[in-house]
Structure 1
Amino acid sequence: MSAAIGSLCLSASAFAQVDAEEVFKENDCHKCHHATKAKKGPSLEKIAARFKTENLGTDEAIKHMTSGGKVKLTDGTEEDHKIIDSKDPQVLNAVAKWMLDR
Structure 2
Amino acid sequence: MRAISTVSVAVAALAAGMLFVSSSASAADADAAKALARQNNCFRCHAIQKDKDGPAWAKVAQKYKGNPDAEAKLIHHVTSGEKAKFADGHEENHKIIETDPPKDMAQIKNLIDWILSLQ
TM-score tier by shorter-chain length is 0.7 to 0.9
Shift of 1:56: 3.1
Distance in 2 between residues matched to 1:56 and 1:45, nearest whole Å: 17
Question: Which amino acid is the alignment partner of residue 75 of structure 2?
Answer: I
- Normalising by structure 2, report the TM-score: 0.66
Assess if the C-alpha contact under 8 Å between 1:70 and 1:78 holds in 2. yes
Question: In terms of Rg, which structure is larger?
Answer: 2
SS in 1 for 2:111: helix
Equivalent residue for 2:108?
92
Equivalent residue for 1:43?
56
* Higher helix proportion: 2
Root-mean-square deviation (CA), in Å?
1.6
Distance in 1 between residues matched to 2:37 and 2:106, nearest whole Å: 14
Question: Which amino acid is the alignment partner of residue 90 of structure 1?
Answer: A
Please list every run of 5 or more consecutive structure 2 residues that lacks an aligned counterpart in the other structure: 1-27
Q: Aligned residues: percent identity?
A: 36
Distance in 1 between residues matched to 2:66 and 2:91, nearest whole Å: 24
Distance in 1 between residues matched to 2:69 and 2:60, nearest whole Å: 10
Shift of 1:74: 2.5
- Normalising by structure 1, report the TM-score: 0.76
2:95 maps to 1:56: no
Runs of 4+ in 1 over 2 A off after TM superposition: 53-57
Corresponding pairs, count: 86
Equivalent residue for 1:24?
37
Please list every run of 5 or more consecutive structure 1 residues that lacks an aligned counterpart in the other structure: 1-16
